[in-house]
Amino acid sequence: MENQRNTKQKKFILSILKEADRPISANEIYAKIITDLPKIAKSTIYRNLDALLKQDIIDKYNFNDNETFYLIKPDNDEHRHFIICDDCKKVFDLPSCPLHEIESSIEEEGFIIKEHQIQINGTCKDCAQSLKKQG
Ligand SMILES: [Zn+2]
Ligand SMILES: [Zn+2]
């Protein structure tokens, strides 16, 4: 019984991650899952996310505050970068990775790069406009 329940929880978490087109936080997952599984604990969500990370099914992203965001790994090798709005916490895509050229020049020097991260945060267009309105 216990295992069946665990599988169901994991399936739900995975389907929420698959539907998301941007990284989402454990809190967002919790808010979505609670309508279907009202008894689920946040710790269960974290435990499942950890397991998915270990299985290499999802990636995690850390932005400037200590909240961690999760995204399903793409089928191809293309990695993505994101920008987060400090005000509404919405996550936006960086159109392309600007680091390829820099990486190749570093690798020409013999350095082996394993991964890189880009962190950009600020205020999105919508929030910037409403800030202006408030004066
Ligand atoms: Zn915003
Ligand atoms: Zn990149």
Digit-coded pLDDT (tens) for 26-44? 999 999 999 999 999 999 9
Please compute the mean of the pLDDT values over residues 106-122 and round it to a whole number. Answer: 89
CA–centroid distance, residue 2 to ligand 2 (Å): 41
Please compute the mean of the pLDDT values over residues 99-121 and round it to a whole number. Answer: 90
Q: Tell me the pLDDT band of 5, cut-offs 50, 70 and 90.
A: confident
- How many residues belong to the chain? 135
Structurally, at CATH architecture level, domain 1-73 sits in Orthogonal Bundle (1.10)
CA–centroid distance, residue 84 to ligand 1 (Å): 8
Q: Residue 2 above 60 pLDDT?
A: no
- d(CA 120, CA 82) in angstroms, rounded, equals 7
Nearest to 25 by CA among 99, 33, 38: 33
- Please tell me the number of the ligand nearest to residue 85's CA: 1
Q: Residue 117 above 70 pLDDT?
A: yes
- Please tell me the number of the ligand nearest to residue 129's CA: 1
Place of tokens 């899952």: 33
Local structure of 41: helix, strand or coil: coil
Whole-model pTM: value is: 0.72
Amino acid at 1: M
Q: Residue 111 above 70 pLDDT?
A: yes
- Please tell me the number of the ligand nearest to residue 128's CA: 1
CA–centroid distance, residue 133 to ligand 2 (Å): 35
- Please tell me the number of the ligand nearest to residue 125's CA: 1
- Please tell me the number of the ligand nearest to residue 103's CA: 2
Fold entry, domain 77-135: Dna Ligase; domain 1 (3.30.1490)
Given its phi and psi angles, is residue 83 left (phi above 0), alpha (psi -120 to 50 degrees) or beta?
beta
Nearest to 68 by CA among 31, 110, 6, 25: 25
* Count of other CB atoms within 10 angstroms of residue 3: 7
All structural domains of the chain with their residue ranges: 1-73, 77-135
